[in-house]
Every structure is written in structure tokens, then in C-alpha cells.
């Protein structure tokens, strides 16, 4: 089940969100973090970055539940500048490593796209490490490649620099 998570439910979800982020970084997801990356680092991200966004209502947070708790999450971040009110960013699509290959990411993205349409956003943008498997998911969901920037991100396991692909999707 996919649902939007609001500030009032954030604390109850924090342990699951922390576990997902920690697990994703430790399995190689290129989501801005590198090893070493502790549970405390993951919790700090949610508390210092996402919670304030929920309070300010500057982002929408979606979560996927299965019988045992939250197994995935993604963020929709509407652009705030006056000349970009038609656009939003897709951020931190994370699926618990134990719940992958079950359609969780696709379901989260479907909910995010629906919400973006409700907000009258007509353009979604994102970036992903070029070798990341999520790139294929985005392409099958209609995202197009805008371009690739070499040496954009650091590999989470070592100091290698890797290219990142920027993608977009127009919404009708």
C-alpha cells in the first residue's frame, strides 16, 4: 500500500525510514551518501532534512507499506521559484533491499506522478547515477534522458567518480 506520509505520522515511521536509507547506502545506492554511513547518519538525514520539509510543506513524502512496515519511500519536491512553479524534483527513491523486484519503486513513482499532476506540475526532473538500476525503471515510466555529466558523483564504496544521468518527464 502506498500512502503520503505527513508530519504527524513521521515519528512512527522514523525507524523504518532510517533502516531503508541505511540499507540502500550499504548496498550501493548513489543517493548522496558514501561509506562509512551509520544508522545515526541515516536518522539525522530524516530528522534534519525531511522533517523540516514536511513541517514547511515544501515536499511530499510517500511510503510503501507491506505487512511488516515501510519498505520504500520517495519524495516530490515542488520547485519554489516563481519561474518554476510548473516543475518538481523526484528525490530519494529508496526501496528496502529485502523488498526489491516486487514493484515497490514503480508503485511509489506512480503515486508521486499522480500527486505532481494534482499540484499542476507539468515537468518532473531527477538525476541518477548512470549505472544505477533505477535508471531503467525511470525510462520504462516515460522519463527521457536530458544528458549525462561525467564525474558527477562519488561511488558510495570508494573514491571513484561516476557519471550521473539527468532525466525528465512531461506530464499532460
Q: How confident is the model at residue 99 (pLDDT cuts 50, 70, 90)?
A: very high
Within 13 Å of residue 37, how many CA atoms lie on the same side as its CB? 25
Q: What is the pLDDT of residue 65?
A: 97
Q: What cell does 161 get?
A: 567518480
Q: Return d(Cα 136, Cα 50) in angstroms, integer.
A: 26
pLDDT at 68 over 90: no
pLDDT digits (tens, 9 = 90+) for 110-165: 999 999 999 999 999 999 999 999 999 999 999 999 999 999 999 999 999 999 99
Q: What is the pLDDT of residue 172?
A: 85
Q: What cell does 10 get?
A: 513521521
Q: What is the pLDDT of residue 125?
A: 98
Amino acid at each position: 500500500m502506498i500512502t503520503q506520509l505527513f508530519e504527524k505520522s513521521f515519528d512512527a515511521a522514523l525507524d523504518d525510514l532510517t533502516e531503508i536509507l541505511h540499507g540502500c547506502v550499504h548496498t550501493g545506492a548513489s543517493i548522496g551518501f558514501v561509506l562509512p554511513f551509520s544508522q545515526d547518519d541515516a536518522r539525522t538525514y530524516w530528522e534534519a532534512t525531511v522533517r523540516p520539509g514536511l513541517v514547511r510543506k515544501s515536499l511530499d513524502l510517500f511510503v510503501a507499506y507491506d505487512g511488516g512496515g515501510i519498505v520504500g519511500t520517495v519524495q516530490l519536491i515542488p520547485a519554489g521559484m516563481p519561474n518554476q512553479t510548473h516543475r518538481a524534483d523526484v528525490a530519494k527513491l529508496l526501496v528496502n533491499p529485502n523488498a526489491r523486484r516486487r514493484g515497490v519503486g514503480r508503485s511509489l513513482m506512480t503515486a508521486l506522478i499522480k500527486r505532481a499532476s494534482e499540484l499542476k506540475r507539468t515537468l518532473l526532473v531527477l538525476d541518477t547515477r548512470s549505472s544505477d538500476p533505477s535508471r531503467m525503471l525511470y525510462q520504462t515510466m516515460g522519463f527521457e534522458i536530458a544528458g549525462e555529466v561525467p564525474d558527477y558523483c562519488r561511488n558510495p564504496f570508494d573514491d571513484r567518480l561516476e557519471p550521473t544521468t539527468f532525466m525528465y518527464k512531461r506530464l499532460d
